[in-house]
Amino acid sequence: MAMTMTQKILARHAGAQSVRAGELIMAKLDLVLGNDITSPVAIQAFEKFGKEQVFDCGKIALVPDHFTPNKDIKAATHCALIRNFARQKGIQNYFEVGHDCGVEHAVLPEKGLVTAGDCVIGADSHTCTYGALGAFSTGVGSTDMAFGMAYGKAWFKVPSAIRVELTGKPRGFVCGKDVILHLIGLIGVDGARYQSIEFTGSGVAELTIDDRFTIANMAIEAGGKNGIFPVDDQTLAYLREHGAKEPVVETADPDAEYDRTIRIDMDTLKPTVAFPHLPSNTRTIDQVGDVPIDQVVIGSCTNGRLSDLRIAARILKGKKIAPHVRCIVIPATQRIWLEAVNEGLLQTFVEAGCSVSAPTCGPCLGGHMGILAAGERAVATTNRNFVGRMGHVKSEVYLASPAVAAASAIAGKLAAPEL
């Protein structure tokens, strides 16, 4: 039976020769992830199973990142619960503030904890990020995380698939963020509901691994169960560089069944912005009009990697952000923070008038480090712009690439980056 890339990974983890779309399966897990919002609920559920130990101390990752460094007593209490659980159970992959910390979906690939062919669940919707490395990874609820920690398994309904055929090459400052915003604009926030988005085509080779992380990360914003890229030389080089375990490379069968094929010529793409209050409400930068802004956020699990900071610093170098704009830069991990220091990027940001934060999700979910008041507008490299996402329900978030965000910080309004 012909299968897609995702279906092959699920079949292998279910111990089956083949699976078909719609089939219910129980699959073995290579990694179970939780953060400071979802893990406390999962830990409480885990305790009801009556198990003394987790299924594998090396296959669970707990990453407090949403409200850390702790913004209040409740956040501190949650993190204390997770910290104690990790110590009691001997969980090896616990990443605390200041100790190899960072935003979970940047930390795990950086640590080599995910490889091609893996089956990963995380109690966070953007767990689909690891599809950039050729893994099946998807977000689940806290009770599924608890079961995964206890038994190393999870149930899935095998998804059908959409094929996205990429051709051409991104031009100028166009990057992975523009590709995924363009796709979401085409199909909508429910356009791939419970489907696997499988990226193919000659254009894949023109995307960096960081581009792919961004695109796979936001598959959920199109409603997808997961997003996944083929494994190529770039993927294998990244896995080697980060000490990941030996990959298992799966490829879709030539006659695999897809519900539809969407073709995107990246030669034609322009910097793209998602207007409030949906990631699908997209316009190209030449269509945005005059939109004054109050805040810019450069960071998050979507666009807080070193390549993103380099792009923003390139635009901000020698310039000043608009006097009425707050520009917050958040490197996604401690390692990225240090590399940005060594390259002089953080000095560039500070000299331009930016505030640089410790690694955290912070403002992305309206947690801390950049909350919006009523009537304020922010340009953010984050992944969601729903009502109240970054603060007051009468605030607005515009999603964009690091290049557009940096250019907008200088202009004091939505603006195109200059080549």
Asked if 352 and 332 touch (Cβ cutoff 8 Å), the reply is no
| In the predicted structure, residue 419 carries a pLDDT above the cut 90 | no
Query: Quick check: helix, strand or coil at residue 353?
Result: coil
The DSSP output letter for 416 is P
Q: Which of 153, 160, 140 is nearest to 14 (CA)?
A: 153
Indicate if the pLDDT at residue 22 is higher than 90.
yes
And the tokens for 163?
A: 């094929």
Q: For residue range 360-385, list pLDDT tens digits in order.
A: 999 999 999 999 999 999 999 999 99
Q: For the segment 219-239, what is each residue's pLDDT rounded down to a tens digit?
A: 999 999 999 999 999 999 999
Query: What phi and psi, each to the nearest 5 degrees, are found at residue 28?
Result: -75, 150
| pLDDT at res. 96 | 87
Cis peptide upstream of residue 417 (ω within 30 degrees of 0): no
User: Which DSSP category does 206 fall into?
Assistant: G
Count the Cβ atoms, other than its own, within 10 Å of residue 376. 18
Q: How many CA atoms lie within 13 A of 28 on its CB side?
A: 12
Q: Which DSSP helix (H) or strand (E) runs through 306?
A: helix 306-316
Fold agreement (5-264, 273-411): yes
The answer to whether 312 and 406 are in contact (CB under 8 A) is: yes
The whole-angstrom separation of Cα 38 and Cα 140 is 10
To the question of domain 5-264 being in CATH 3.40.50.11260, the answer is: no
Domain boundaries, the chain: 5-264, 273-411
- pLDDT, mean of residues 164-178: 96
How many of the other CB atoms lie within 10 Å of CB of 74?
10
Of the chain, the percentage scoring pLDDT greater than 90 comes to 96
Q: Using pLDDT thresholds of 50, 70 and 90, give the confidence band for residue 97.
A: confident
| Residue 207 to residue 215: CA distance in whole angstroms | 10
Could you tell me which residue, 50 or 138, shows the higher pLDDT? 138
Q: What is the pLDDT of residue 304?
A: 96
Provide CB contacts within 8 A for 147, sequence distance 6+: 45, 49, 153, 154
Spatial separation of the C-alpha atoms in residues 322 and 345, rounded to whole Å: 19
Q: What is the CATH number of domain 273-411?
A: 3.30.499.10
Enter the pTM of the model.
0.96
Per the CB < 8 A criterion, the answer to whether 171 and 267 are in contact is: yes
> Under a CB-based contact definition with an 8 Å cutoff, are residues 2 and 255 in contact?
yes
Q: Which two tokens stand for residue 77?
A: 């209490």
Q: Note the pLDDT of residue 84.
A: 95
pLDDT at position 98 is 82
- Specify the length of the chain in residues: 419
In 95-193, DSSP assigns E strands to 119-122, 136-139, 153-157, 160-167
Query: Which residue is listed with tokens 């401690």?
Result: 334
Q: Can you tell me the mean pLDDT for 290-302?
A: 97
Gyration radius from the chain CA atoms: 20
Per DSSP, 372 falls in state B
Average pLDDT of span 286-302: 96
The Cα 202–Cα 220 span in angstroms is 24
Determine the 3-state secondary structure of 104 from DSSP.
helix
Alpha carbons 246 and 280: distance in angstroms, whole number? 37
Smallest CA-to-CA distance from 14 within 116, 149, 115, 119 is with 119
